[in-house]
């Protein structure tokens, strides 16, 4: 049986573990390289992307995750996880020591952090995703400003009239999936089911 790990260093990893368990999936919290090696796929949860970046490097997980992603491991990033899976950041956080935030990469996209505003600007929006209608929850959400030719745009929300297309909030590139919203905090499991299908080669 496929084992899906959830990076459990910071953020709402428990909600993802619960969502997967509710779908009958074998799961594992991932905090060490050894735990990473025991999973077939990985979810990077919402949280604080700059903290997740710092902790993955502190725990020695950043390079092993990058190697697994490059080798084809399926991964799904929600909100902060979307930022972590981006190849490029428009506005990386900068530490007090002057160090710029890094990502794990994997998806050919340019992402803007906090693109929809601060915590008080959180909102819900009805989306169509892979044939499902769902209410997406956006909390300090990022957006993909640009995507490469191999990236499939799965969902958008309306953009200001000055922009030609909608704001990109869900993408896929091969075995990698990312959303700027938080499906783990709603009753819908459409996103998790879609990712499970990716891990099984069915999507």
Check if 182 is active-site: yes
71: containing domain: 3-199
User: What's the predicted TM-score (pTM) here?
Assistant: 0.93
Please tell me the total count of domains within the chain.
1
The pLDDT score that the predictor gives to residue 158 is: 81
> Per-residue pLDDT tens for 125-157?
888 888 888 888 888 899 999 999 999 999 998
Is 184 a residue of the active site? yes
Residue pair 83/51 in contact (Cβ under 8 Å)? The answer is no
CATH code of the domain covering residue 160: 3.40.50.880
Q: How far is CA 14 from CA 134, 148, 169, in A?
A: 21, 32, 23
Q: Annotated catalytic residue: which of 79, 161, 192, 193?
A: 79
The answer on pLDDT for 191 being more than 60 is yes
Active site residue: 15, 16, 143, 184, which one? Answer: 184
The verdict on whether 34 is a catalytic residue reads no
pLDDT at 121 exceeding the cut of 70: no
For 23-32, how does the pLDDT look when each residue is reduced to its tens digit (9 = 90+)?
999 999 999 9
pLDDT at 68 over 90: yes
pLDDT of 162 above 60: no
Choosing from 15, 16, 143, 182, which is the catalytic residue?
182
Q: How far apart are CA 6 and CA 43, in angstroms?
A: 5
């Amino acid at each position: 049986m496929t084992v899906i790990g959830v990076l459990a260093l910071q953020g709402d990893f428990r909600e993802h573990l619960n969502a997967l368990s509710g779908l009958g999936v074998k799961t594992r919290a991932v905090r060490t390289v050894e735990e990473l090696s025991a999973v077939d796929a990985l979810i990077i949860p919402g949280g604080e992307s700059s903290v997740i970046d710092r902790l993955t490097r502190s725990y020695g997980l950043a390079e092993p995750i990058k190697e697994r992603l490059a080798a084809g491991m399926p991964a799904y990033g929600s909100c902060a996880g979307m930022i972590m899976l981006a190849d490029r950041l428009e506005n990386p956080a900068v530490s007090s020591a002057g160090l710029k935030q890094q990502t794990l990469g994997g998806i050919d996209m340019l992402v803007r952090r906090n693109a929809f505003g601060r915590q008080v600007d959180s909102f819900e929006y009805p989306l169509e995703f892979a044939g499902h209608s769902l209410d997406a929850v956006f909390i300090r959400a990022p957006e993909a400003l640009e995507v490469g030719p191999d990236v499939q745009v799965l969902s958008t929300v309306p953009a200001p009239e000055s922009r030609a297309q909608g704001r990109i909030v869900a993408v896929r590139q091969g075995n990698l999936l990312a959303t700027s919203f938080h499906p783990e905090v709603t009753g819908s499991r459409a996103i998790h089911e879609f990712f499970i299908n990716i891990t099984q080669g069915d999507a």
